Chains A and B, each alone.
Chain A
Amino acid sequence: MKIRVKVNGRWYESDVEPRTLLAYWLREDLKLTGTHIGCDTTSCGACTVLLDGKAVKSCTVLAVQANGREVMTVEGLERNGQLHPLQSAFWECHALQCGYCTPGMLMASYALLQENPNPTEEEIREGLSGNICRCTGYMNIVKAVQTAARKMSGESQEALEEVAANGASAD
């Protein structure tokens, strides 16, 4: 089947078997190996990507289901060569060890912060309960998401202030 999917801002066309899982299509056809596969029961979240802005586990989505839609993977988090605040927070807070669950954790955290820009510790823990990490004990992941949330709200505050300032000068 022919599909056309926008991945990390760019449209890709591909001929896939209908049974091809989105995770394999990303990894093997698009060579975007940042998306990892950790299980076969939608339990571990290593393969989490955003589909039209919502976090999905790409090992349980068919590539054809993404036809005409927009996918964002860990490779799409950076902007103009700059790490996303979540990425830099994961780095600063030592929120990864082996790194295998990390792309999924980042994408799940991204979706979480989209929905809830200022989550409590409990909300973060609940929000990431679909993603398994075997290395970190989760504590530093929680810290990283809190740090990123602060940075991002600070940034959006700055952006608002900038808009306001620009608006004022335009008057």
Chain B
Amino acid sequence: MATVFGKAVKRREDPRLITGHGQYTDDVRLPGLLYAAILRSPHAHARIRKIDTSQALRHPGVVAVFTGQDIQGKMGTIPTAWLPPDSGIVTPPHHALAVDRVRYVGDGVAMVIAEDRYTARDALDLIQVEYEVLPAVVDQEAAMQEGAPQLHDEAPGNVAFHWKVGNFDPSAVQDADVVIRQRFRQQRLVPNPMEPRSAVADYNPATGEMTMWLTSQNPHIHRFLLSGILGIPEHKLRIIATDVGGGFGSKIPCYPDEALVGFAAKTLGRPVKWTEDRREHFMATTHGRDHYDDVELYGKKDGTILAIRVRATANMGAYLSTAAPGVPTILFGLIISGPYQIPYAEADVYGVFTNTTPTDAYRGAGRPEATYLLERMVDLFAREIGMDPVEVRRKNLVRAEQFPYNNPMGLTYDSGDYHGALHKALEMAGYAEFRRQQEEARRAGRLVGVGVTTYVEICGLGPSQVAGAVGFQGGLWESAQVRIHPTGKVTVFTGSSPHGQGEETTFAQIVADRLHIPVEDVEIVHGDTARISMGWGTYGSRSTPVGGSAIALATERVIEKAKKIAAHMLEVGEADVEFEEGQFRVKGAPSRQVSLGDVTLQAYLAWNLPPGVEPALEGQAFYDPSNFTYSFGTHICQVEVDRDTGEVKILRYIAVDDCGRVINPMIAEGQVHGGIVQGIGQALWEGAHYDEQGQLVTGTFMDYAMPRAHFFPTFETAFQETPSPHNPLGVKGIGETGTIASTPTVVNAVLDALSPYGVRDIEMPLTPERVWRAMKGAQEA
């Protein structure tokens, strides 16, 4: 049978999704189901003086109303699960419903449970809350100033943590010819998966078992955390996340509302459902990014980069969300020197509380922020020393023969051919030719520009020992169980929790490839804690390198056991048997063979197994990677800026990504497309904005500009394959590369187009107004 590894196999999850038969959380319907609605604070900062729920309780169809006081002592607070070491991190209590104070617009104040969705919403309007409005602060730098409103007694000056990493030494940059200093703003973004968050909880008082359907990227982490919050033993709590409509990081955290749904179901003895609407998503689902980055780059006139330093202030919002503190620290600071041989680097990061929605991981999480400032600095440096930005990159990129390469923060890049990807992308883009055309276009009065990004990304999160060392309160290994049934069909249980990435297909390809069976014979089970022993979920481009590797190992163990049985059946020693084309063959006498199917049946019949071999045919693996994986590549974008309106038009977009071996090129390419669009969304249109009172001004799809189909040309993508040397598949991860690379690529292209004006920086998103103002400002200057 032809190998299916590396083939564009059509997705196995699609038939149910294109016919309307997906099973998303809000699709779950149970007898006696109640609906929850949450009253959210309209103020960014206020003391709660009084809550009167009596009118709401009298409303027909309302079953219960809970306030912060009602749940006090009956359920736990919402935990933070990433505590960067030596950062002085403080984690003030985050109550599922505010007890005496609200700290952002959207903070939960009360929950109504009613017989139907509409009634629950109606009753929210009948709850009377008396607030004493307090001064609010929404900007992290303002929050650090003396006299700023204080959010938590535990965090004086609103500092949640201060973390520093690096080897910067002033003596190391004494030879620098040039120092570039620039301040960048990473605006706040709203993840906006198309499926709103949702939770359904069903408690069985007879057994004490709770089943929760949840929009989760990591059901086992949710089980672990919710077990603690709800006081339900872990073995009595089942989390199901069958079809999840995108996450982009926002479905990693454990949220107050999810815990409340469980609490209500347990308290009332009836199943309860809650689904956010989009407005609620904007308010109460975690946001992403939101930094100020003050950056210094030291370099020499010949293009050598000597050092990079950043001082970042990250807006954490009103509380520290589950994984939030790891994002602007570990996932940002450790990769600040990117794909370059920069010997000295430093990141100094403040995490700050403000009266805004909590932030957490958003596609790329920390790595886009690092890549953005680095790639912008490289272009500014190139401009300063009068060198082509591609030349500067070429000069500083880590060379293929230098791998494994230790970066100044202690990471070891596993493998790479950075120059290869750069070369390929330049060829595809016709870079030299474009530069010539650019000259002509400029003479004709047109503003065209090109941006190039070379990046490296920490993928495949990650070795558990490292997770522990960097304060992640969990492991980062992955589980897999491969079961061959008596008829030869295979069920695979994975702790990864795909929610759009297509692993029901790619994981089946891994198994089918190794067992030499049709992909159709392999079923991938994910997203159910009752069926899967343990798992750490899907984020940080880890599913294929970590979850996929676990599956590969478990499959190998199945083959190992089958080989023992086959040897017994063939009456030869185990060492004399090899497995090829689905047959166990005697080495040197290939006509003597038994098929995997025959061996499987014998394994189950167990009439005549070799001594010491147990019946049945299953393999299990708990794979903990020895290192991260490091995907990399080059993206190039050509843009034209409208001189009169400031509008940016993307003319061409070229992406060459190297994520190691590619299991399914069609799916990998799809990940790149989606990532590019999301990253360009940040560059050109998206941005969450609060007014000074802490009201989210961009609270709907009418105010927050989402990328749409007609904003883009057709992308030109290609892969280069440099296998990772340390996992059994040689894979690296592709889910976030597009988002990491495309933001600086597009911004650099726009600034290149505007170079006749000498514009150094425009704050993202580069809306027509901002671009136009930048041109006008430069002209006036």
A40 and B499 alpha carbons, distance in the complex (Å) = 23
Q: Mark B474-517, 1 if CB is under 8 A from A, else 0.
A: 00000000000000000000000001111000000000000000
A100 and B708 alpha carbons, distance in the complex (Å) = 16
Question: B residues within 8 A CB of A155?
Answer: none
Which A residue's beta carbon lies closest to that of B671? Answer: A97
- Does B500 lie within 8 Å of A135, measured CB to CB? yes
A168 and B288 alpha carbons, distance in the complex (Å) = 66
Q: For the complex, is B726 an interface residue (Cβ under 8 Å from A)?
A: no
A124 is contacted by which of B20, B29, B501, B709 (Cβ under 8 Å)?
Answer: B709
Q: For the complex, is B666 an interface residue (Cβ under 8 Å from A)?
A: yes
Q: For the complex, is A132 an interface residue (Cβ under 8 Å from B)?
A: yes
- Does B278 lie within 8 Å of A39, measured CB to CB? yes
Q: For the complex, is B279 an interface residue (Cβ under 8 Å from A)?
A: yes
Which A residue's beta carbon lies closest to that of B499? Answer: A98
Q: For the complex, is B24 an interface residue (Cβ under 8 Å from A)?
A: yes
* Residues 354 to 382 of chain B near chain A (Cβ within 8 Å): none
Decide: A137 near B29, CB < 8 A? Known: A19-B118, A32-B20, A98-B245: no
Q: For the complex, is A159 an interface residue (Cβ under 8 Å from B)?
A: no
Question: A residues within 8 A CB of B206?
Answer: none
A103 and B17 alpha carbons, distance in the complex (Å) = 8
Decide: A133 near B714, CB < 8 A? Known: A36-B245, A43-B702, A75-B19: no
Question: B residues within 8 A CB of A37?
Answer: 26, 196, 277
Question: B residues within 8 A CB of A161?
Answer: none
Tell me, rounded to whole Å, the shortest Cβ–Cβ distance linking A99 to chain B. 3
Q: Mark B666-685, 1 if CB is under 8 A from A, else 0.
A: 11011011111110000000
Q: For the complex, is A7 an interface residue (Cβ under 8 Å from B)?
A: no
Q: For the complex, is B13 an interface residue (Cβ under 8 Å from A)?
A: yes
A40 is contacted by which of B194, B279, B675, B676 (Cβ under 8 Å)?
Answer: B279
Q: For the complex, is A78 an interface residue (Cβ under 8 Å from B)?
A: yes
- Does B667 lie within 8 Å of A132, measured CB to CB? no
Which B residue's beta carbon lies closest to that of A89? Answer: B18
B701 is contacted by which of A41, A75, A100, A137 (Cβ under 8 Å)?
Answer: A41
Interface centre among B20, B196, B701, B715 (most CB of A within 10 A): B20
- Does B278 lie within 8 Å of A129, measured CB to CB? no
Which A residue's beta carbon lies closest to that of B664? Answer: A94
- Does B18 lie within 8 Å of A83, measured CB to CB? yes
* Residues 302 to 360 of chain B near chain A (Cβ within 8 Å): none
Q: For the complex, is A13 an interface residue (Cβ under 8 Å from B)?
A: no
B17 is contacted by which of A38, A99, A134, A137 (Cβ under 8 Å)?
Answer: A99
Q: For the complex, is A58 an interface residue (Cβ under 8 Å from B)?
A: no
Q: For the complex, is A158 an interface residue (Cβ under 8 Å from B)?
A: no
Q: For the complex, is B700 an interface residue (Cβ under 8 Å from A)?
A: yes
Decide: A36 near B710, CB < 8 A? Known: A78-B19, A136-B673, A140-B673: no
Report the interface size for chain A: residues with CB under 8 A from the other chain: 59
* Residues 20 to 40 of chain A near chain B (Cβ within 8 Å): 20, 24, 27-28, 31-40
A134 is contacted by which of B10, B244, B246, B709 (Cβ under 8 Å)?
Answer: B246
Q: For the complex, is A87 an interface residue (Cβ under 8 Å from B)?
A: yes
Q: For the complex, is B611 an interface residue (Cβ under 8 Å from A)?
A: no
- Does B118 lie within 8 Å of A17, measured CB to CB? yes
B20 is contacted by which of A75, A91, A135, A139 (Cβ under 8 Å)?
Answer: A75
- Does B674 lie within 8 Å of A136, measured CB to CB? yes
A142 and B649 alpha carbons, distance in the complex (Å) = 19
A3 and B91 alpha carbons, distance in the complex (Å) = 54
Question: A residues within 8 A CB of B11?
Answer: 91, 94, 96
- Does B277 lie within 8 Å of A40, measured CB to CB? yes
A102 is contacted by which of B18, B666, B670, B702 (Cβ under 8 Å)?
Answer: B18
- Does B708 lie within 8 Å of A132, measured CB to CB? yes
Which A residue's beta carbon lies closest to that of B500? Answer: A98
Question: B residues within 8 A CB of A132?
Answer: 194, 701, 706, 708
A103 and B673 alpha carbons, distance in the complex (Å) = 20
Decide: A137 near B712, CB < 8 A? Known: A94-B666, A100-B245: yes
B194 is contacted by which of A90, A91, A100 (Cβ under 8 Å)?
Answer: A100
B502 is contacted by which of A40, A97, A131 (Cβ under 8 Å)?
Answer: A97
Which B residue's beta carbon lies closest to that of A143? Answer: B714
Q: For the complex, is B117 an interface residue (Cβ under 8 Å from A)?
A: yes
A28 and B702 alpha carbons, distance in the complex (Å) = 27
- Does B194 lie within 8 Å of A133, measured CB to CB? yes
A124 and B246 alpha carbons, distance in the complex (Å) = 24
B674 is contacted by which of A90, A131, A137 (Cβ under 8 Å)?
Answer: A137
A101 and B18 alpha carbons, distance in the complex (Å) = 10
Question: B residues within 8 A CB of A33?
Answer: 20, 22, 24, 26-27
- Does B708 lie within 8 Å of A129, measured CB to CB? yes
Tell me, rounded to whole Å, the shortest Cβ–Cβ distance linking A75 to chain B. 5
A92 and B10 alpha carbons, distance in the complex (Å) = 6
Q: For the complex, is B523 an interface residue (Cβ under 8 Å from A)?
A: no
* Residues 22 to 36 of chain B near chain A (Cβ within 8 Å): 22, 24, 26-27, 29
Question: B residues within 8 A CB of A40?
Answer: 277-279, 700
Decide: A134 near B279, CB < 8 A? Known: A43-B702, A125-B710: no
* Residues 254 to 310 of chain B near chain A (Cβ within 8 Å): 277-279
* Residues 79 to 135 of chain A near chain B (Cβ within 8 Å): 83, 87, 90-92, 94, 96-103, 106, 121-122, 124-126, 128-129, 131-135
Q: For the complex, is A44 an interface residue (Cβ under 8 Å from B)?
A: yes
A139 and B20 alpha carbons, distance in the complex (Å) = 22
- Does B192 lie within 8 Å of A134, measured CB to CB? yes
**List of 8 A-B pairs having minimum Cβ-Cβ separation, nearest first:** A34-B20, A100-B245, A98-B500, A99-B17, A137-B673, A43-B701, A39-B278, A137-B677
Can you sample 5 A-B contacts with CB below 8 Å? A33-B24, A43-B701, A78-B19, A96-B11, A98-B499
Given contacts A75-B19, A91-B10, A91-B11, 15 further A-B contacts (CB under 8 A): A20-B118, A24-B117, A27-B26, A39-B278, A40-B279, A41-B700, A90-B14, A91-B14, A100-B24, A128-B709, A133-B709, A134-B192, A135-B670, A137-B676, A137-B678
